[in-house]
Amino acid sequence: MADRHTVPGPVRDIPVGDLGRRLALRRNQLRLTRKDTAARAGMATGYLRHLEEHPDAVPSAGTLLRLAGALETTVTELTGGNAERPPGPGRAVRGADLRRLDAEECWALLGSHGVGRIAVPTVEGPAIVPVNYSVVDGSVAFRTGPHATPARAAGRRVAFEVDRVDEAFSRGWSVLVRGTARAVTDPGEVRRLAERAHGEPWAGGQRPLWLRIDATGISGRRITV
């Protein structure tokens, strides 16, 4: 299991603004308020607010350790030290179990939206690319450019996968959707997707083409201890 008590390098090396965003994101993932988190970490709620809202805040190593413990993660995760590394390098824990998820659990995890990976057939062979997606009206929807790789999914059978890895506890889950992708051309449907989708594509640029995957099958697994 990842070491929760190691501070990666000088605290002052945290990228400006990075810690606050990561604190808030992790709180939201655990559905904790600032008050809840501050109580867990043994600090004032106002100080936690200061850390989240002031990019120039420089907490002590001890503060980072307490926050990592309160948020069930690692100091490395909070400070972005693993941002460029693929997930899952930690050791497996004893007593781990792989559990199947039912369809309701799978859709609930998918519904949190975020970044998933779509497997697309191309003339060069299968390609797997990440996309920002949302679940709208019981299907997976995302935007892309008309000449981008994900656009090749239109009219084809595809697979779409989303996962979450908890480095601190060597846990995680994955959900796989199989179905047919189709380009959305009806103006009313395009408008509805634009209104109900969450966020914008991280890659930026003009991505006017909406695609949606109508699921014919969904399955998932979760590693628990």
Higher pLDDT, 178 or 166: 178
User: Which tokens is 136 given?
Assistant: 């709208």
Helix (H), strand (E), coil (C) string for the chain: CCCCCCCCCCHHHCCCCHHHHHHHHHHHHHCCCHHHHHHHHCCCHHHHHHHHHCCCCCCCHHHHHHHHHHCCCCHHHHCCCCCCCCCCCCCCCCCCEEEEECHHHHHHHHCCCEEEEEEECCCCCCEEEEEEEEEECCEEEEEECCCCHHHHHCCCEEEEEEEEEECCCCEEEEEEEEEEEEEECCHHHHHHHHHHCCCCCCCCCCCCEEEEEEEEEEEEEEEEC
d(CA 126, CA 213): 17
- For the segment 59-113, what is each residue's pLDDT rounded down to a tens digit? 998 899 999 889 988 888 788 766 555 555 556 556 677 889 999 999 999 887 7
Query: Who wins on pLDDT, 104 or 171?
Result: 104
Q: If pLDDT is split at 50, 70 and 90, which confidence band does 10 have?
A: very low
Where is pLDDT greater, at 65 or 11? Answer: 65
- Catalogue all structural domains in the chain, each as residue range(s) with its CATH number: 11-78 (1.10.260.40), 97-224 (2.30.110.10)
Average of per-residue pLDDT values in the chain: 83
What percentage of the chain reaches a pLDDT higher than 90? 42
Least confident of 33-37, 108-112, 131-135: 108-112
Highest mean pLDDT among 17-21, 84-88, 125-129, 168-172: 125-129
Q: Which residues pair with 174 in a beta bridge?
A: 163, 221
Residue 168 one-letter amino acid: A
Q: What are the structure tokens assigned to 23, written together? A: 């604190």
- 147-172 mean pLDDT: 86
Residue that the structure tokens 């930690």 belong to: 90
- Provide the whole-model pTM: 0.63
Q: What per-residue confidence (pLDDT) applies to 202?
A: 65
